Amino acid sequence: MASGGGQDAKFFQRGKIQEFRAELLAAESKDKKFTKRKTVLKKIVANITMGNDMSPLFTDVVQCLGIPLLEIKKMVYLFLVYYGRSKADQIHLIIPSFLQDCNDRNPLIRALAIRTMSYIPIPVVLESLTDQLRHCIKDRDPYVRKTAAICVAKLYTADPRRAEKNGFVEMLRDLLVDSNATVVANAVASLTEIGDRQDGVIFKLNLTIANKLLAALGESSEWGQIYILDSLLRYVPEKHTDAELMAERVLIQLQHANSAVVLTAIKALLYLMNYMENRKLMDHICKKMGPPLVTLLSSGPEVQYVALRNILLIIQRRPSVLKNDVKVFFCKYNDPIYVKLAKLEIMYRLAREENAREVLAELQEYASEVDVDFVRKAVRSIGRLSIKISPAADSCVQALLELIETKVTYVVQEAVIVIKDVFRRYPGKYEGIIPTLCENLDSLDDPESKAAMIWIIGQFADKIENADELMEDLTFNFMDESVEVQLALLTAAVKLFIYKSQSETSKTLVHKVLKWATEEVDNPDLRDRGFMYWRLLAINPAVAGEIVLAEKPAITTDSDRMDRGALDQLLLHTGTLGSIYHKNPETFIRNAAGKALQDSPALNALSRQVLVPIARANIPLGPVQVEGPGPTEPRESAAEGVASPTVAGGVQAVSLPAGGSSSELINTGLLDEEPEGGHDDGGDDDDYLASPSGPADPYANLEGAFSGYNADEPRPQTNSDLAGLF
């Protein structure tokens, strides 16, 4: 059997309804072994696959149900799964045959019958299914019971009232303690499905049932283990020891070959740790979690990607996991691009003073690769590294200068963008490189880099001899520039004037720019800011200078770290789509169930303090109308709002770091003393509390590490053009 297999490719040809009908009719005679009819049915199935509507053949195909050949029965059933729903008027023809199969001696046939019936969710079929299912859920054969368990979920999806009225949910609960592990696992899956519905019954586990499920773990199939491990999040430990004992039993699953089992076990462990007290055990769990996570990187690239996106979240919440393993995240030359980009972020997160040199050497290597996004992100990471780890700043800046030497446009642009932040992080240290930057002014065509360079010129206009000339050139096409650049030009022109108020050029320049901004431009932000500067300068130029050139809070990597409460919540979705996009599912998937840590006497006090309640589902029901590709949820726009110059307001607008609101916290000076320390040496991760009373939006720092740059950040798309197709 393992060799070659079938020869059915010849049936992959488009055919006409009439032809098939005639062939089926002709096949009825002299078809002793049913080979003729089998052939016609294969042709029909092939045509269904190709997307040809075969539903007119309904009555003809159904006739074949009488044939005692299993293969034919399965093909007819497949046909029914496809077209049964649209043939409500004729479906009664096959009910007797279904009922007969439901009572067949062979358990495989019984299961096949209820499985197929439950795929045809129309009242006539559901009616007969309801009766049969009641028997099948108590069938003596476990295979039938495990099929019946899933059938309940199907029935519930089609007709919740019918399922509840007939007591199927209670019957499923009974199956949770079935003697057969496969049945238990499917009952769990089914109840989870029902419990996740907004109109469904609530599915929670108590300690007794949770322990029974854990006992079934060893005998379940790998998929069953996933369903069971996943369901442990529905158990809320009341005592620390309950959580701890359970975690110890989950821990052994980390050695499983199936990566989904491993990730789901990790999800359960991370969840249970919120309710634990035993610090030693928690450290042990963190230690045990690292190696299996690294091993996931030997799987196929798709699973690697899932693992990497999750690791990025896990190491923020539990910094002791993988803290010594930065090397395993070094990119291989032939890694797919999505793996490389995800690794890069983890490398940055795991970088510390001890490994900064190695990480920097790698990043430099990547900066010469081919993929533009990857190179840009590598350059950006070098800059972020210098901000994060002050002892490495010198070599990082040196590396950036070498990269500027390459004159590759996008490399230079990225370097300029990060250097702007470097200047803010280390005032008075690297200004000597400004002339080198100015030499590359012409190669900056991307707005972000141009704005960054303009900020540098404005900020250090007193140190750049020909600043007024440069500004003169830059404002030449003022009206054609993007708003981002115009805003930067406006602020820089004002700064230049304040520095060099004696210079005629700067006087004319600021006048010219203010006039453009207030009279010619349509953008309200630009106009408002223009007016504000104008009045400031008009009323009292000296005070204006103090305000515009006020000392800026030093930039830090504080905003890199996601808010603890938000992380706790997001980690409840470990391994799922939400963990790939770093978004709670209810914010981008219609009808998705949100999750939140449940309070209990055992819940860690800090976790309780930062609890984020489940957000109201806010996915619009109709086709979504949005401008551009960005996500639509209000939460995200709030985050963007904070970072955008409009809201941040005032003089600092142009130079605000990402996640603007957190800059207030920086003033505490805490992170200045210990810029890369604190959270990264990972000792006491449970005691850290990022921005306890900080931004109102806990997700504001979500994309923090790479500031405004998240072109490559994976995100769900809302594409109104495609809405019709769903």
Which parts of 327-366 interact with other proteins (CB under 8 A)? 327-328, 330, 332-334, 336-338, 358, 361-362, 365
Which of 123, 301, 630, 692 is in the footprint of other proteins by CB under 8 A? 301
What gap in Å lies between CA 330 and CA 344, rounded to an integer?
8
Closest CB to other proteins among residues 152, 488:
152
Which of 202, 370, 621, 696 is in the footprint of other proteins by CB under 8 A? 370
- 229-239: b or e for each residue (b if 16 or more CB lie within 10 Å)? bbbbbbbbbee
What gap in Å lies between CA 117 and CA 125, rounded to an integer?
6
Concatenate the DSSP letters of all residues of 296-357 into one string.
GGGS-HHHHHHHHHHHHHHHHH-TTTTTT-GGGGSPPTTS-HHHHHHHHHHHHHH--TTTHH
Per CB under 8 A, contacts with other proteins among 122-161 are: 141-144, 146-147, 150, 153-154, 157-158
Interface with other proteins, residue 223, by CB under 8 A: yes
Question: Residue 409 is encoded by which pair of tokens?
Answer: 């446009």
Which of 440, 518, 556, 718 is in the footprint of other proteins by CB under 8 A? 718
- CA separation (Å) from 588 to 398, 616, 631? 42, 12, 8
For tokens 């002709």, the residue is 26
What gap in Å lies between CA 716 and CA 664, rounded to an integer?
31
Closest CB to other proteins among residues 68, 601:
68
The distance of closest approach from Cβ of residue 272 to other proteins in the complex, given in angstroms and rounded to an integer, is 17
Using a 10 angstrom Cβ sphere, with 0-12 exposed, 13-18 middle and 19 or more buried, the burial of residue 321 is buried
Which of 47, 132, 231, 253 is in the footprint of other proteins by CB under 8 A? 253
Mask: binding to other proteins, 30-59, rule CB under 8 A, as x and -? ---x--------x--xx-xxxx--------
The distance of closest approach from Cβ of residue 112 to other proteins in the complex, given in angstroms and rounded to an integer, is 8
Per CB under 8 A, contacts with other proteins among 526-555 are: none
Interface with other proteins, residue 483, by CB under 8 A: no
Per CB under 8 A, contacts with other proteins among 66-95 are: 68-71, 73-75, 78, 81-82, 85
First to last CA, the chain: 40
Which of 103, 206, 298, 466 is in the footprint of other proteins by CB under 8 A? 298
Interface with other proteins, residue 113, by CB under 8 A: no
Angle between helices 70-83 and 107-117 (to 10 degrees): 20
Per CB under 8 A, contacts with other proteins among 655-714 are: 712, 714
What gap in Å lies between CA 472 and CA 161, rounded to an integer?
73
SS3 205: strand
What is the DSSP code (8-state) at residue 28?
T
Which of 7, 29, 198, 477 is in the footprint of other proteins by CB under 8 A? 7
**Residue 229 host element (H or E):** helix 222-231
Interface with other proteins, residue 303, by CB under 8 A: yes
Per CB under 8 A, contacts with other proteins among 192-221 are: 193, 196, 218-219, 221
Interface with other proteins, residue 386, by CB under 8 A: no
What gap in Å lies between CA 414 and CA 658, rounded to an integer?
16
* Binding footprint of other proteins, residue count (CB under 8 A): 142
Per CB under 8 A, contacts with other proteins among 552-591 are: 573, 575-581, 585, 588-591
Per CB under 8 A, contacts with other proteins among 389-428 are: 406, 408
The distance of closest approach from Cβ of residue 370 to other proteins in the complex, given in angstroms and rounded to an integer, is 6
> Could you tell me if 229 and 213 are in contact, meaning their C-beta atoms sit under 8 angstroms apart?
no
The distance of closest approach from Cβ of residue 39 to other proteins in the complex, given in angstroms and rounded to an integer, is 11
Closest CB to other proteins among residues 221, 443:
221
Measured at the CA of 305, the angle between CA 301 and CA 307, to 5 degrees, comes to 115
Using a 10 angstrom Cβ sphere, with 0-12 exposed, 13-18 middle and 19 or more buried, the burial of residue 622 is exposed
Which one of 201-209, 222-230, 464-472, 506-514 is the stretch in contact with other proteins (CB under 8 A)? Answer: 222-230
Which of 206, 255, 482, 618 is in the footprint of other proteins by CB under 8 A? 255
Closest CB to other proteins among residues 156, 533:
156
Interface with other proteins, residue 258, by CB under 8 A: yes
Closest CB to other proteins among residues 35, 508:
35
Interface with other proteins, residue 311, by CB under 8 A: no
What is the DSSP code (8-state) at residue 722?
G
Which of 294, 372, 438, 547 is in the footprint of other proteins by CB under 8 A? 294
The distance of closest approach from Cβ of residue 40 to other proteins in the complex, given in angstroms and rounded to an integer, is 12
The distance of closest approach from Cβ of residue 197 to other proteins in the complex, given in angstroms and rounded to an integer, is 10
What gap in Å lies between CA 124 and CA 109, rounded to an integer?
21
What is the DSSP code (8-state) at residue 235?
B
Interface with other proteins, residue 719, by CB under 8 A: yes
Interface with other proteins, residue 622, by CB under 8 A: no
Closest CB to other proteins among residues 375, 610:
375
Interface with other proteins, residue 182, by CB under 8 A: yes
Using a 10 angstrom Cβ sphere, with 0-12 exposed, 13-18 middle and 19 or more buried, the burial of residue 543 is exposed
Interface with other proteins, residue 108, by CB under 8 A: yes
> Could you tell me if 128 and 98 are in contact, meaning their C-beta atoms sit under 8 angstroms apart?
yes
Which one of 207-215, 293-301, 490-498, 502-510 is the stretch in contact with other proteins (CB under 8 A)? Answer: 293-301
Strand partners, 155: none
What gap in Å lies between CA 149 and CA 167, rounded to an integer?
13
